[in-house]
Structure 1
Amino acid sequence: MSRILEYLKIIPSEQSVDYVENKKQFHLFTLLTEQRHPKTWTLSSTIAEDTEKGLRMLLSVDEDITAKVEDLCRDPELLEKAVKAMHRTITGGKKIYFYGCGATGRLAKQMESTFWRPFWRKIRQSEYWTKLRDHLPADIEERLIGEMTGADRALISSLEGFEDLQLIGKLQLNDRGIEKGDAVFCVTEGGETSSVIGTILTAWRQYGDPAGCHDDGSAGNLYFAYNNPDERLMPFDRSRSVIENNGITKLNFTTGPQGIAGSTRLQATTSETFILGAVMEEALYRILGEFLDEKELTDLGFEKGLDLAGRLLSFNDVRKSVEDKSSDIARFTELEASTYEGHRFSTYFAREAMVTVFIDSTERSPTFKLFPLDTVSETKRKSWIQVWTDSKSIGEAWQVFLGRNFRGLEDSYYRPAFEKEIDDPYLKAVALKSLLNAGNDQQYVYDLSFSDSNIKNRGPEPGDIGVIVCVDGERQEVDDPSRSFGRFASLVKERGGKVAVISVTGEGRSVAEPSFRGDVEVSVILPAFPDPIGLRRQMALKMLLNAHSTAMMAKLGRVTGNTMTNVNPSNLKLIGRATFLVMSHVNDVIGSADWNGRYGKRDEVTFREVNAVLYDAIEFMAVKNPEQTAEVALSIIRIIEALKSRKYISWDDALSILASKGLNGYLKEV
């Protein structure tokens, strides 16, 4: 143990002591997804010198997904079981329920709003609906529900306290009317998320009786997808309760460490989205194949003879198509990064890609400690980014975005259970506070519309960037000043901004040479391949935008090496990650030969000590509120400075150093 708490005059807070001693089940830094990937070890320094090289480094980690997909194709039994569950559920008039938290919660929303609902809208508008309608539920679009911890409001930003509660998973499953016989897919990046585990265990208990006996049929309907090896998860009681449960089918999609350590919005969620999307696509093919002939299926985007393995193996071509555009993506990354360096803002515009774009945009806030999306009450822009879609009002924007009405959490249903069933006083207080911001009224707090009022109050200004994201024929609409895409492009240009145009289409599609050219153009052309639900197009966009936003934040100094040193410690898992990151970076510095030669040997800091410093930083930040400053970076600097001088240094002194040098600059000099 070091003397750091003595130097800094910190007495561990009650919350810190409680976390260290009683919250060991949330000390998750042993998980594979929390480790540093060897391919991206030097990301921050590489990308500072060569943006394209850094991007290629990031994108190369997606090769791990290819390897996992190939592995699954060699033994597809469990995925075939999942296909049959979806098929049986829909033809039997039951429901499919996708549930996740954070990035996998957004996956669940995407399953519903990007893949399922648009597909069935297309079917209803086709000439083939008359052949299908008597064989399928009349409300087929409503038969897949994508839900996340905290409901639709959590799409914007996390609701603190919810993730750490198994209770909320139980409540949401019951609130959405999920019953025995429905197919339930609970997806967690790490395999340890409490709310997701609470959901799958509640679904499993629906198959039991008062005597504690369970129906063996549950495993055919209940699926738990995750991205860590079982042996890494077994020390955690809640994970083990699922892994050892024979009534739940486990879908282990482990790919390895993430491109940024712990950033499971990257490979973990990409793999889970693609694989489960392919399962859905295969189930739809089998359902429609019972009633339509080969030509009709082809008209709807399917190909006869293509099986589940073929669908899965298409991933690598999608991945390579994105990687091939690394030089164009690098120019996009540099343009957006320079916009923020100039203290200007971005506005993204999308329609068919709206969910994918929105997900990447909102995930930047907790990952890199940025302002969340602005509310309508903000008098001037604070968030670096905003997202608009093809709509003229708040309500219409949510319809375009989700394909349905906004779904919040009703206070009258959740509050009594929170007050009665949450024992931990800290969690109860935080969860009850978050519940105030989770209701249906939250839809009116955020305006995603391309409306006159938004243009007037939050429209682009000189030096801003407008990013247009297109799928297939939408690129041609950018050339048409009468269409929303064209009007948005013209608006940005007329107001002195720059325009980036990102498009994804399939090989062989007839596309005229565009008349409007953005300052940056990234055009991804996928190999000709059946893509009836748009899965491959959206995955290409996801990988592109994830790599772009991560690379951009690395260029802006918000990544150190390949670690998330600007993470927002907003829940128990992230507090553990933040503590581990501070401890690792400090001990790396003070353990070096250079340090020992200049300052002498120091004892390593411990998890307990660092956690006390971190909680003190969180308290300081709550009062000081220096905008987007990260507690992790601030704690690293304060600890190292105190160990260097063996005397007290204040948070304000550390903040001054961070503001003048940045964490990466400081670590180079120390």
Structure 2
Amino acid sequence: MIRVTEQESTHQHIDQMSVLEILQGINKEDQTVPLAVEKVIPQIEKLAISVTERMKNGGRLFYIGAGTSGRLGVVDASECPPTFGVPFDWVVGIIAGGDTAIRKAVENAEDDSAQAWIDLKAYQINEKDCLIGLAASGTTPYVVGGLNTARQHGILTGCIVCNEGGPIAAESDFPVEVVVGPEFLTGSTRMKSGTAQKLVLNMLSTTVMIKLGRVRGNKMVDMQLTNHKLVDRGTQMVMEELNIDYAKAEDLLLRYGSVRKAVEAGSK
């Protein structure tokens, strides 16, 4: 398999560039990423529809990955509860090497093809659930093994990769292959590839949560009120919905604990 993500950068002698030239070169490459994502929106659509259907029937969404990809999955999963007010176990991010690997690389963790399923079993993953493998290379053994075993157990599988035709895509019912080309710094897939995966994760989880009813209009009505900024944002939403003053809106919000509940109570 020829991995585009490992091909030599089209920018030569970057160690001799000025700071401005380096920044401009990185930015020029970054501008190509949304265009690459746009090309695979039909793939993302199929995955989002399928994940939504499973989750409407009680399923959960799992991400597995190693290194940068694994960290991106953990970030997306961890942001769903505060953003959409969903239970912490609705979306689960698992990284090769465990939580230690979020901050510090764990040697050879991504090369163990059996470990992902062991990690997933700790969450009692079952046929109602969805599993998405994240790997820029499209070849990471940890992810390949996890997807392969998951399919054998009737679990819906998908992936977000940055090379076409790899073993991870082959193990996915709904592969998303975003080909962003060589990196500015040869092989550094935390750059364009990581950006592409982050964009797709944003699109996927946000779309699924909207279709699961966790958004009203264009507002995060179920967000957790974990700081003053979010209480203020929620108060403004309640004011707008009910056409009341700030003090009354804040009182309703704090009394009922969410924008949705405050609006429902205030509408009676």
State the TM-score, normalizing by the size of structure 2.
0.76
Contact persistence 1:86–1:280 (CA under 8 A): no
1:119 and 1:244 map into 2 onto residues whose CA distance is 33
SS at match of 1:176: coil
Corresponding residue number in structure 2 for 1:55: 23
1:58 and 1:103 map into 2 onto residues whose CA distance is 18
1:229 and 1:90 map into 2 onto residues whose CA distance is 28
Corresponding residue number in structure 2 for 1:155: 102
1:181 aligns with 2:149: no
Q: Counterpart of 1:84 in structure 2: which amino acid?
A: I
Tell me the alpha carbon deviations over residues 324-343 of structure 1, each in whole angstroms, 9 at most, x when there is no partner.
xxxxxxxxxxxxxxxxxxxx
Corresponding residue number in structure 1 for 2:191: 266
2:38 and 2:59 map into 1 onto residues whose CA distance is 32
User: Among residues 29, 42, 50, which one is paired with 1:85 in the alignment?
Assistant: 50
Q: Counterpart of 1:186 in structure 2: which amino acid?
A: G
How far did 1:243 drift? Answer: 4.3
Corresponding residue number in structure 2 for 1:31: 3
Corresponding residue number in structure 2 for 1:134: none
Contact persistence 2:116–2:145 (CA under 8 A): yes
1:45 aligns with 2:13: no
Contact persistence 2:64–2:132 (CA under 8 A): yes
Change beyond 3 A, Cα 1:299–1:188: closer
For residues 519-538 of structure 1, what are the structure 2 equivalents within 5 Å?
Answer: none
Corresponding residue number in structure 1 for 2:161: 226
Structure number with greater Rg is 1
How far did 1:244 drift? Answer: 4.2
Indicate the percent of aligned positions where both proteins have the same amino acid: 19
Q: Counterpart of 2:164 in structure 1: which amino acid?
A: P
Corresponding residue number in structure 2 for 1:141: 88
- Let me know the Cα RMSD of the aligned residues: 2.4
1:116 aligns with 2:104: no
Contact persistence 1:120–1:141 (CA under 8 A): no
1:248 and 1:94 map into 2 onto residues whose CA distance is 16
Contact persistence 2:46–2:174 (CA under 8 A): no
In the comparison of the two structures, how many residue pairs are matched? Answer: 225
1:142 and 1:243 map into 2 onto residues whose CA distance is 25
For residues 23-422 of structure 1, what are the structure 2 equivalents within 5 Å?
Answer: 30-38=2-10, 40-46=11-17, 50-73=18-41, 76=42, 78-113=43-78, 115-121=79-85, 140-207=87-154, 221-230=156-165, 233=166, 239=167, 242-245=168-171, 248-288=173-213, 296-300=216-220
Corresponding residue number in structure 2 for 1:22: none
Contact persistence 2:162–2:178 (CA under 8 A): yes
Q: 4+ residue stretches of structure 1 with deviation over 6 A?
A: none
Task: List gaps (5 residues or longer) in structure 2.
Answer: 231-268
Q: Counterpart of 1:63 in structure 2: which amino acid?
A: Q
Contact persistence 1:100–1:186 (CA under 8 A): yes
State the TM-score, normalizing by the size of structure 1.
0.32
Task: List gaps (5 residues or longer) in structure 1.
Answer: 1-27, 122-138, 208-217, 234-238, 302-402, 404-472, 475-670
SS at match of 1:103: helix
Tell me the alpha carbon deviations over residues 351-382 of structure 1, each in whole angstroms, 9 at most, x when there is no partner.
xxxxxxxxxxxxxxxxxxxxxxxxxxxxxxxx
Contact persistence 2:8–2:182 (CA under 8 A): yes
1:107 and 1:92 map into 2 onto residues whose CA distance is 26
1:278 and 1:42 map into 2 onto residues whose CA distance is 36
Q: Counterpart of 1:206 in structure 2: which amino acid?
A: H
Contact persistence 2:158–2:169 (CA under 8 A): no
2:16 and 2:126 map into 1 onto residues whose CA distance is 51
Contact persistence 1:101–1:163 (CA under 8 A): yes
